[in-house]
Amino acid sequence: MENLEAFLDKDIFDTVADVAREMGVDAYVIGGYVRDRIMGRDTGDIDIVVTGSGIALAQKVADRLGISSGVHYYKRFGTAMIRYYDRQRLIIEFVGARKESYSKDSRKPLVEDGTLVDDQNRRDFTINAMAISLRDEDRGQLLDPFDGRGDIGRKLIRTPLDPDITYSDDPLRMMRAIRFATQLDFRIEEASFEAIYRNRERIRIVSGERVADELNKIIMAEKPSYGFRLLDRAGLLEIIFPQFLELKGAETMEGKGHKDNFHHTLQVLDNLAERSDNLWLRWSALLHDIAKPVTKRFDKDAGWTFHSHEFVGARMVPRIFRQLKLPLNEKMRYVQKMVLLHLRPIVLAQEDITDSAIRRLLFEAGDDIDDLMTLCEADITSKNPAKVRRYLKNFKLVRKKLVEIEEKDRIRNFQPPVTGEMIMETFGLKPCREVGIIKNAIKDAILDGLIPNEHDAAFNFMLRKGKDLGLAQDDRDKS
């Protein structure tokens, strides 16, 4: 049997071992920490399983370490967590060894005290069921009843027990199997994948928040398209995100075809993943063409068109976020903005770039302009190298022009130098339609380069516009 005492190179393991010995219980490091160290991956998450009370062990370890913030308890699950700095920031979770049984209509198990073997049997995958002993008599010993070590070498996701039982008992494990396969670039054992497909409908009993969490982790992988293709093959994508599946397929009429927007979108997502680890920008890549199925039309002269898919797509974002239990806040609004504006830089890259068009793009994108340009560059998926080079060259020109205009006109996130209050005071008005007309006219005049982004120029423009509307300057304002 293999000894991995070299992996117990943090002071926290000595402390846990000492406290467990004093309490008369056995403690083991289990799960992700063992897996990641074997794979040569750095990790600060440590799971400790104990043949006794995990909460009691956590409290005594925290007392021994003098951790003032104490222990975070999750009594419903019999677990506890402490945070500790040991040459790196660590999160240590303690749980008592247990065995579980499930009912058909819930993924929440009935839990009983158990042995280490019971605890390993309940684990989701063989690579997460490995344990390292902290006991004096076999310290560092790898306890690997399901050959998780071998599965790491084979790059294989496999369940310890019957996969149909594993996935039916806790259907979230189907998402976790695909997430681990995506993150680690592993394959899912054939029998296990077939069991996911058979049990796919069970995913409906899992909370949307838990599904979204796994989906986000797939999106944040190095090559997220791998995970989405597995979700599709497993029949899960159709259940959790049917709108995305509607992008699938290419159609030809009168000899004119369009690209498969499902595969195109996944390529855009992969391209973006190489450039950015911003989760919400990756979601923008995933949703940038989401409205193409509902806006698709065929014209005998123009061929296939997807007119206004950016506007329709932006309107679809809140509904999709609500459906997937994603946050309905500024993150959603950021994705909406990216979807709405994703064609704008592409249009600019295809034609002569006017200062006016650049100003309007800066105004609408604000601080997110760099992210928008990154998304647009990722959106180039042509197989024609010359076309790709041409687009990228034009995007460089757009980026250069953005910098020049921003330095000259200070347009990004600008507010017109004449406010609605100033307009009302000048003309003796209360809130009314004319105030909005003048305010928008000032904004458009600045964006179109008719006047500089300065108070005096904007104020004089306001006076002229007010005169055009038949408004007289308030006598009190004149004085």
Query: Of the candidates 66, 119, 118, which has an alpha carbon nearest to the alpha carbon of residue 95?
Result: 119
Percentage of the residues of the chain whose pLDDT score is greater than 90: 59
Scored b (16 or more CB within 10 A) or e, 378-408 reads bbbeeeeeeeeeebeebbeebeebbeebbee
Is 69's pLDDT higher than 80?
no
- The pLDDT, as a whole number, for residue 340 is 96
Which comes out higher in pLDDT, residue 454 or 99?
Answer: 454
Is 30's pLDDT higher than 70?
yes
> Residues 269-281: what's their mean pLDDT?
97
Topology of domain 5-154, per CATH? Beta Polymerase; domain 2 (3.30.460)
What is the band of 402 on the pLDDT scale with cuts at 50, 70, 90?
A: confident
- pLDDT (tens digit per residue) in 323-355: 999 999 999 999 999 999 999 888 777 666 778
pTM: 0.85
> Residues 377-401: what's their mean pLDDT?
85
DSSP 365: H
Q: Is residue 66 a contact partner of residue 47, using CB atoms and an 8 Å limit? A: no
- pLDDT (tens digit per residue) in 211-269: 999 999 999 999 999 999 999 999 999 999 999 999 998 777 766 767 889 999 999 99
Collect all residues with Cβ–Cβ distance below 8 Å to 399 and sequence separation of at least 6.
373
- Range with lowest mean pLDDT among 55-59, 66-70, 424-428: 66-70
- pLDDT (tens digit per residue) in 426-461: 888 889 998 999 988 988 888 888 888 888 898 999
Q: Where does 297-354 have alpha helices with state H?
A: 309-323, 330-341, 344-350
- The pLDDT, as a whole number, for residue 237 is 97
- In sequence order, what E strands does 39-96 have? 45-50, 72-74, 79-85, 89-96
Q: Is residue 111 a contact partner of residue 78, using CB atoms and an 8 Å limit? A: yes
- Token pair 């959106």 is found at 379
CATH of domain 165-240: 1.10.110.30
CA 419 to chain CA centroid, Å, is 38
- The pLDDT, as a whole number, for residue 292 is 95
Domain borders along the chain are 5-154, 165-240, 274-398, 420-478
- The pLDDT, as a whole number, for residue 405 is 79
Average pLDDT, the chain: 89
Q: Is residue 91 a contact partner of residue 45, using CB atoms and an 8 Å limit? A: yes
Q: Is residue 410 a contact partner of residue 452, using CB atoms and an 8 Å limit? A: no
Residue type, 88: Q
What is the band of 479 on the pLDDT scale with cuts at 50, 70, 90?
A: very low
Which comes out higher in pLDDT, residue 3 or 233?
Answer: 233
CA 14 to chain CA centroid, Å, is 37
Collect all residues with Cβ–Cβ distance below 8 Å to 43 and sequence separation of at least 6.
32, 33, 36, 37
The number of residues in the chain equals 479
**How would you class 466 by CB atoms within 10 Å of its CB: exposed for 0-12, middle for 13-18, buried for 19 or more?**
buried
Is 112's pLDDT higher than 80?
no
- The pLDDT, as a whole number, for residue 409 is 66
- The pLDDT, as a whole number, for residue 103 is 58
**Encoding tokens for residue 36?**
């990641």
- The pLDDT, as a whole number, for residue 263 is 95
- pLDDT (tens digit per residue) in 285-313: 999 999 999 998 888 777 878 889 999 99
Which phi and psi angles does 447 have, rounded to 5°? -65, -35
By DSSP bridging, strand 131-133 and strand 27-30 are: antiparallel
- In sequence order, what E strands does 175-312 have? 187-188, 252-253, 256-257, 297-299, 303-305
Give the separation between CA 434 and CA 465, rounded to whole angstroms: 10
> Residues 462-469: what's their mean pLDDT?
88
What is the band of 210 on the pLDDT scale with cuts at 50, 70, 90?
A: very high
Percentage of the residues of the chain whose pLDDT score is greater than 70: 94
